[in-house]
Structure 1
Amino acid sequence: MRPSLIRLVRPRRPERQTDPLLPPLKLYRSILRAHIHKIPVEIRPLGDQYVKAEFKAHKNIDNPLHIVGFLTQWQDYLKNIDGGSWLKGKLSPQDLEKMSPEQIGQLYELMQEAKNVGKEGN
């Protein structure tokens, strides 16, 4: 992911005040740092592994729209983690309808892993 592309394709939303996108490496580090301070110890390894796998999988993406979408979603995730709103967050039916079958499969796998982590903790 080339940070220079972010500046060229960042969508302008006059109706919503947005923060500028963080460069990929800075965002990655900020997320892992937020996990240290905001996520319970029992589920932190799961979150860290997921973040690392996603950033590694998207490392060589050149499509500017994919890059912006990826970074925007992870930056929103970081805001949720920092603000604590992730604790009461739920997916709406509209969010589920927007997901591809592959994304729903990933979400299901994540749910299964989270259940396993909970069982191991007991």
Structure 2
Amino acid sequence: MSAAASRVVLQLYRDIVRAHRTLLPPPLRDMGDTYARDEFRRHWKPSTTQPQWQAFVQEWQRYLSMLRGQADLPEASGDIPDSVLESLNPEQKAQLARLKEEAVRAREAILSGKPEQP
């Protein structure tokens, strides 16, 4: 990797850690920092090819955009085709609804910086 590319990757890592510090509550911040550090270290080796670096950087940039609220993310129900939703039995639909409620509650807790209530 060239020196210029190294600077871009290091700056991306710094931006991610900075975003964790300002946007995530402490337990998630610690987990996110550890995960990012380990991933960047794992990929920081001479055998990583240019296409691998491009994909790696692109995905971490998407993650950073998502953290900052700049990502254009689909609605959760948009990920499941209507044909699949229609094929679910009532118990599966209820479980999916509970999962959605928990995800919304967790997202609100993260955005507010308050711990989740059980």
> Identity of paired residues, percent?
30
8 Å CA contact 1:5–1:64 kept in 2: the answer is no
Partner of 2:59: 73
Aligned residues: 80
How big is the alpha-carbon RMSD for the aligned residues of Structure 1 and Structure 2? 3.3
Structure 2 residue ranges without an equivalent (≥5): 81-117
Counterpart among 54, 57, 71 of residue 39 in structure 2: 54
Deviation, structure 1 residue 52 = 0.2
Go from structure 1 to structure 2 and tell me whether the alpha carbon gap of 1:89 and 1:57 turns closer, same or farther (over 3 Å shift).
farther
2:27 is the counterpart of 1:42: yes
Where does structure 1 lack aligned partners over 5 or more consecutive residues?
7-21, 94-121
CA distance in 1, matches of 2:15, 2:67: 11
Q: What's the CA shift for 1:4?
A: 4.8
Shift of 1:3: 5.3
Q: TM-score, structure 2 length as denominator?
A: 0.54
Which of structure 1's runs of 4+ aligned residues deviate more than 4 A?
3-6
Quote the offset at 1:62 in angstroms.
3.6
Q: Displacement of 1:47 after TM fit?
A: 0.6
Which residue type is aligned with residue 30 of structure 2?
P
Change (3 A) 1:3 1:69: farther
C-alpha deviations, 1:30-77, integer Å up to 9, x for none? 000000000111211111000000000000144110000000000110
Secondary structure of the residue that 2:18 maps to in structure 1?
helix
- Of Structure 1 and Structure 2, the greater helix share is in 2
Query: TM-score, normalising length from structure 1?
Result: 0.53
Residues of 2 paired with 1:75 and 1:40: CA distance? 21
